[in-house]
């Protein structure tokens, strides 16, 4: 009998990718996916542990699912299996089993390929189904190929884990040491995704530009720059992106690729976290604000229209008003096309959580609001600067209005324009006519008949 699987995904794109892979893995066992937990036989919470709020979410979610299950069983319905996956599972597996006894199984990000076995074990006897090992075998060798691509864009995880040990961050503990997938496996998956309709591939990794994958010919490991060149030669792949990068790992080859490889999109997420050298040092980022500015300059020399995005943390332990001001200055000066900003959240087991968390919530909130105003201003300026320009847009979904399609600009903006539906899936030149906080509007530079030719 057909069973239903509901996966709720939190956190970063790596989790989005993993959720897709789990669905593909469970499909042959008879699980069809559903968005609605109420009709599911199995719910997987794919959790994020990056900040406290994210980490606590699992407990409220499990509470809701437990009530749902109780109601259903009381009404004579089918039981519901509750699974917790992802980074909180990895970090707090045993505690989840203790604090949330309604959970049937816990599986860490490196053990997803063992899910079928874990589900069977959970059905036999609860309490034994916990797997947060970092197994010797790679899950990638044991997961089936992705079964579908939605629209024209796909994620491809090429690297996992992190050896940087920024003092605020749980990732080295939840995702383990840095590992790269072999070049041949990445190229094969990219070719497979292209056959499924992907034209734009986003290479994923917690520290993606530290990529050093086994070479196909047994030679020295390949860097991300070299991999990007090979991916651009995969038939059907027109656009390549990658995220998330560490400034320290932007090597010469990768910077040069931004200038020489048209398929490498001119949009780069390059977290800086802070503009203060003292705070950067306390975060163990191992670069200064000046290093970051110089790096951006070099990238812009290679690719003058490069748009940048970043992550910031405000209220790191001991951050003074003057140090915060240095962050505001850097954000204003670089002019990010978009950026994410967060209040510092102490995470158990990290070095920064041992430092006195000296700033009040009020100060953190106030600084966050000021930084977000600077970021919003940068985003508005960037979007405004696109007006009048003509840029290639990859259209792949219907717009809000009849006759419209929505696509992505090279700089990750959503762009809507009047485009015949038959041209969905095409990259077309669009002249930008209007800018909004989160999107652009434009018209086809050539008439549709010509564009279709």
As annotated, the binding site for [4Fe-4S] cluster includes: 12, 48, 87, 162, 166, 169
Q: How many residues bind ligand 5AD (CB under 6 A)?
A: 12
From 112, 140, 155, 168, residue interacting with ligand 5AD (rule: CB under 6 A):
168
Of 91-99, 122-130, 179-187, 342-350: span binding ligand 5AD (CB under 6 A): 342-350
Under rule CB under 6 A, residue 344 binds ligand 5AD: yes
Is residue 157 close enough to count as binding ligand SF4 by CB under 6 A?
no
311 binds ligand 5AD (CB under 6 A): yes
Residues 366-425 that bind ligand 5AD (CB under 6 A): none
Q: Tell me the three state secondary structure of residue 351.
A: helix
Contacts for 350-353: CB closer than 8 Å, 24+ residues apart: 350/167, 350/168, 350/169, 350/170, 350/173, 351/165, 351/167, 351/284, 352/167, 352/168, 352/282, 352/283, 352/316, 352/317
Which residues contribute to the annotated binding site? 12, 48, 87, 162, 166, 169
Regarding 81 and contact with ligand SF4 (CB under 6 A), the answer is no
226 sits near ligand SF4 (criterion: CB under 6 A): no
Q: How many CA atoms lie within 13 A of 109 on its CB side?
A: 32
C-beta of 208: minimal distance to ligand SF4 in Å?
Answer: 12
Using an 8 Å Cβ cutoff, are 199 and 238 in contact?
yes
Closest CA to 156 of 169, 171, 170, 140: 140
Least separation, in Å, of the C-beta of 319 and ligand SF4? 22
d(CA 24, CA 108): 17
- Please tell me the chain's helix, strand, coil percentages from 3-state DSSP, rounded to the nearest 5: 40, 20, 35
The rounded distance, in Å, linking the Cα atoms of 325 and 319 is 10
Q: Binding partner of residue 11 among ligand SF4, ligand 5AD, none, CB under 5 to 8 Å per kind?
A: ligand SF4
Task: Note whether 11 binds ligand SF4 by CB under 6 A.
Answer: yes
Instruction: Record the tokens describing residue 419, joined without a space.
Output: 């485009």
350 touching ligand SF4, by CB under 6 A: no
Question: Are the beta carbons of 301 and 329 closer than 8 angstroms?
Answer: no
Q: To which H or E segment does residue 260 belong?
A: helix 252-260
User: What CA–CA distance (Å, rounded) separates 331 from 270?
Assistant: 12
Angle between helices 252-260 and 289-302 (to 10 degrees): 30
Closest approach of ligand SF4 to the CB of residue 223, in Å:
22
- What's the CA dihedral at 257, 261, 266, 270 to 10 degrees? -20
Applying CB under 6 A, the span of 95-103, 168-176, 207-215, 299-307 interacting with ligand SF4 comes to 168-176
Nearest residue to ligand 5AD, scored by beta-carbon proximity: 311
- Judged by beta carbon, residue 48 or residue 313, the one nearer ligand SF4 is 48
Name 288's Cβ contacts closer than 8 Å, sequence gap at least 6.
Answer: 277, 280
Per CB under 6 A, the list member of 44, 80, 153, 171 interacting with ligand SF4 is: 171
Residue 357 as a binder of ligand 5AD (CB under 6 A): the answer is no
Phi, psi of 276 (to 5 degrees): -105, 130
Question: What separation in angstroms does the CA of 279 have from each of 54, 285, 316, 365?
Answer: 24, 9, 7, 18
The per-type count for the chain, helices as H runs and strands as E runs, is 13, 19
Residue 14 within binding range of ligand SF4, rule CB under 6 A: yes
Least distance in angstroms from the C-beta of 360 to ligand 5AD: 16
Site string for ligand 5AD, 45-84 (x = CB under 6 A): -----xx---------------------------------
The answer to whether residue 175 forms part of the interface with ligand SF4 (CB under 6 A) is yes
Q: Is 48 in the site for ligand SF4 (CB under 6 A)?
A: yes
Q: Note whether 345 binds ligand 5AD by CB under 6 A.
A: yes
Scanning the structure block, which residue is given the tokens 């991999």? Answer: 227
Q: Is 45 in the site for ligand SF4 (CB under 6 A)?
A: no
Q: What is the sign of the dihedral through the CA atoms of 99, 102, 105 and 110?
A: negative
Query: Could you say which of 308, 313, 427, 430 contacts ligand 5AD (CB under 6 A)?
Result: 313
- Using CB under 6 A as the binding rule, whether residue 21 contacts ligand SF4 is answered as no
342 near ligand 5AD, rule: CB under 6 A: yes
Which option in ligand SF4, ligand 5AD, none does residue 273 bind, with CB closer than 5 to 8 A by kind? ligand 5AD
Residues that bind ligand 5AD (CB under 6 A): 50-51, 168-169, 271, 273, 311, 313, 342, 344-345, 347
Contact residues toward ligand SF4 (CB under 6 A) are: 11-12, 14-15, 48-50, 86-87, 170-171, 174-175, 206
């Amino acid at each position: 009998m057909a069973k239903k699987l509901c996966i709720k995904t939190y956190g970063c794109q790596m989790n989005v990718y993993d959720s897709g892979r789990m669905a593909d893995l469970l499909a042959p066992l008879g699980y069809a996916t559903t968005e609605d937990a109420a009709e599911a036989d199995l719910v997987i919470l794919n959790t994020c542990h990056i900040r406290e709020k994210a980490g606590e979410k699992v407990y409220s979610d499990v509470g809701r699912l437990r009530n749902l299950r109780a109601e259903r069983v009381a009404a004579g319905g089918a039981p519901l299996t509750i699974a917790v996956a992802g980074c909180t599972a990895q970090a707090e597996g045993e505690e989840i089993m203790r604090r949330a006894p309604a959970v049937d199984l816990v599986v860490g990000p490196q053990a997803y390929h063992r899910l079928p076995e874990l589900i069977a074990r959970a059905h036999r006897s609860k309490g034994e189904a916990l797997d947060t090992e970092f197994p010797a075998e790679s899950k990638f060798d044991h997961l089936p190929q992705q079964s579908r691509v939605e629209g024209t864009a796909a994620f491809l995880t090429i690297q996992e884990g992190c050896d940087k040990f920024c003092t605020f961050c749980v990732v080295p503990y939840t995702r383990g040491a840095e590992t790269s997938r072999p070049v041949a496996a990445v190229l094969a998956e990219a070719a497979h995704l292209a056959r499924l309709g992907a034209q734009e591939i986003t290479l994923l990794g917690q520290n993606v530009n530290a990529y050093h994958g086994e070479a196909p010919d047994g030679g020295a490991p390949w860097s991300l720059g070299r991999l990007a060149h090979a991916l651009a030669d995969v038939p059907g792949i027109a656009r390549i992106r990658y995220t998330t990068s560490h400034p320290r790992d932007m090597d010469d080859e990768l910077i040069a690729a931004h200038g020489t490889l048209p398929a490498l999109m001119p949009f780069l997420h390059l977290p800086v976290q802070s503009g203060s050298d003292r705070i950067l040092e306390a975060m163990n980022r191992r670069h200064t604000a000046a290093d970051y500015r110089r790096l951006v300059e070099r990238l812009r020399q290679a690719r003058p229209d490069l748009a940048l995005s970043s992550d910031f943390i405000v209220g790191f332990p001991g951050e003074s008003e003057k140090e915060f001001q240095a962050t505001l200055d850097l954000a204003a000066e670089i002019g990010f096309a978009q950026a994410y900003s967060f209040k510092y959240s102490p995470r158990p087991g990290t070095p920064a959580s041992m430092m006195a968390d000296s700033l009040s919530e009020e100060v953190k909130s106030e600084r966050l609001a000021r930084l977000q105003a600077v970021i919003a201003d940068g985003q508005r300026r960037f979007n405004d600067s696109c007006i009048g320009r003509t840029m290639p847009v990859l259209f792949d979904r219907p717009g809000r209005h009849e006759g419209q399609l929505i696509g992505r600009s090279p700089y990750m903006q959503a762009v809507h324009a009047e485009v015949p539906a038959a041209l969905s899936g095409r990259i077309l030149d669009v002249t930008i006519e209007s800018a909004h906080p989160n999107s652009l509007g434009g018209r086809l530079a050539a008439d549709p008949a010509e564009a279709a030719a």
